[in-house]
Amino acid sequence: SYELTQPPSVSVSPGQTARITCSGEALPKKYAYWYQKKSGQAPLVVIYEDKKRPSGIPERFSGSGSGTTATLTISEAQVEDEADYYCYSTDSSGDHEVFGGGTKLTVL
Amino acid sequence: QLHLQESGPGLVKPSETLSLTCNVSGGSITNFTFYWGWIRQPPGKGLEWIGTIYYTGTTYYNPSLQSRATASLGTAKNQFSLTLTSVTAADTAMYHCASFDTGLMVYDTWGPGIMVTVSS
């Protein structure tokens, strides 16, 4: 079945730029979405349709894509950005949804 | 604003069937602007999509769970449900129901989740 591959962890210091990648064969044709999940809270969309930011999400969150890789970039990362981040998309048919394995972002 | 709440057993025996219900308030499950999904997270692991049901009743499932999962709509009670047959310890997880906004194409409202443990 279709998979999205993310690095297990990313670590940055406060104020640095964090980049989290997501690789999947269908990403050239299907949008990537990014969810932020903090312990005990429901997932929150931070990027949709590759690079769009929902209202209320800080401008430091941005998304991009190139070929089979989507990237979530958090500029000037803050301690409050520590969370697990999941990319989400569908397979090439669009019928089956998938979450990436998740990336634990540490801002320390 | 939508509010979702999962209900069901917290403990299920191996080989038995897990049945969960998601009660929806603040909107109708027949609203064509939403799909309804089930997502789970095993302890210490990542999110896993289980399946989605459209307002038409059309369903799509994770291929790895397709043979065991069934989603359905309960329009009279404004709820939707999930059954998962032949459960094993690998099905132990926090189960979430969520609404899928067909405009933004995102799960924008989630239930708080229900922890289900499979154990004898």
Q: Which residue of B has its CA nearest to A34?
A: B106
Q: What DSSP line would sit under chain A, residue for residue?
A: ----B--SEEEE-TTS-EEEEEE-TTTTTS--EEEEE-TTS--EEEEBTTTB--TTS-TTEEEEEETTEEEEEETT--GGG-EEEEEEEE-TTSS-EEE---EEEEE-
What pLDDT, in 10s, does the model give residues B87-96?
Answer: 999 999 999 9
Q: Which residue has the higher pLDDT, B99 or B77?
A: B99
Length in residues, chain A:
108
**pLDDT tier at B119 (50, 70, 90 boundaries)?**
very high
Give me the mean pLDDT over the A39-65 stretch.
96
Average pLDDT, chain B: 95
Cβ-nearest to B64 among A1, A37, A84? A1
Q: Could you tell me if B104 lies within 8 Å of chain A, comparing CB atoms?
A: yes
Handedness of CA B33, B42, B17, B65 (dihedral sign): positive
**pLDDT tier at A26 (50, 70, 90 boundaries)?**
very high
The alpha carbon torsion through B86, B91, B95, B98 (nearest 10 deg) reads -70
Give me the mean pLDDT over the B86-110 stretch.
95
Contacts of A4 (CB under 8 A, 6+ apart): A22, A23, A24, A27, A87, A88, A89, A98, A99, A100, A101
CB distance A66 to A80 below 8 Å: no
**pLDDT tier at B75 (50, 70, 90 boundaries)?**
confident
Give me the mean pLDDT over the B25-40 stretch.
93
Tell me the three state secondary structure of residue B105.
coil
Beta-strand runs (E) in B1-33: 3-7, 11-12, 18-25
Distance, in Å, from the CA atom of A30 to the CA atom of A16, rounded to the nearest integer, reads 29
Q: Dig out the tokens for B4 from the structure.
A: 């979702």
Q: What pLDDT sits at residue B76?
A: 84
Question: Given the structure tokens 């067909």, which residue do they identify?
Answer: B102
- Most B CBs within 10 A among A46, A88, A97, hence the mutation to make, goes to A97
Q: What pLDDT sits at residue B114?
A: 97
What pLDDT, in 10s, does the model give residues A66-93?
Answer: 999 999 999 999 999 999 999 999 999 9
Q: What pLDDT sits at residue B54?
A: 93
Give me the mean pLDDT over the B35-58 stretch.
96
Q: What pLDDT sits at residue B35?
A: 95
Q: What pLDDT sits at residue B32?
A: 87
Q: Which residue of B has its CA nearest to A1?
A: B63
